[in-house]
């Protein structure tokens, strides 16, 4: 299943964000989550996405997102946060989903 390029409305742990996928070249994706650059992979066969963002280019702010695309083209999954994101050793995994797609 192809990954549509464009802007997605996202709920990430209760935060409303905009995910923009600007390119998908041979499964290598780039774009932004809000104003932060993202880089990752799209697997057409498995309809699976993996990408990371590093707000402020600070390593401890890194978030790693995993998700799967459903037949309606929406995506849902989890993301891992690190110390700079408010995560703690007791809670590093959070849910995210797209609410709309291009």
Tens of pLDDT, residue by residue over 14-63, are 999 999 999 999 999 999 999 999 999 999 999 999 999 999 999 999 99
**What's the pLDDT score for residue 88?**
86
Average pLDDT, the chain: 94
Note the pLDDT of residue 39: 97
Closest CA to 79 of 44, 35, 33, 45: 33
pLDDT for 35 equals 95
User: Domain 6-100 classified CATH 3.30.70?
Assistant: no
Domain coordinates of the chain in residue numbers? 6-100
**C-alpha to C-alpha distance for 43 and 46, rounded to whole angstroms:** 6
Q: Which residues of 70-80 are buried (b: 16+ CB within 10 A; e: fewer)?
A: eeebbbebebe
Q: Is this prediction's pTM over 0.75?
A: yes
């Amino acid at each position: 299943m192809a990954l549509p390029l464009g802007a997605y409305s996202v709920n990430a742990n209760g935060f409303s964000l905009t995910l923009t996928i600007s390119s998908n070249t041979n499964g290598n994706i780039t774009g932004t989550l809000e104003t932060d650059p993202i880089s990752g992979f799209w697997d057409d066969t498995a309809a699976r996405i993996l990408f990371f963002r590093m707000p402020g280019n600070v390593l401890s702010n890194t978030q790693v997102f995993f998700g799967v695309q459903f037949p309606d083209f929406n995506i849902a999954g989890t993301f891992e946060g690190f110390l700079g994101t408010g995560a703690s050793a007791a809670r590093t995994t959070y849910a995210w989903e797209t609410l709309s797609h291009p």
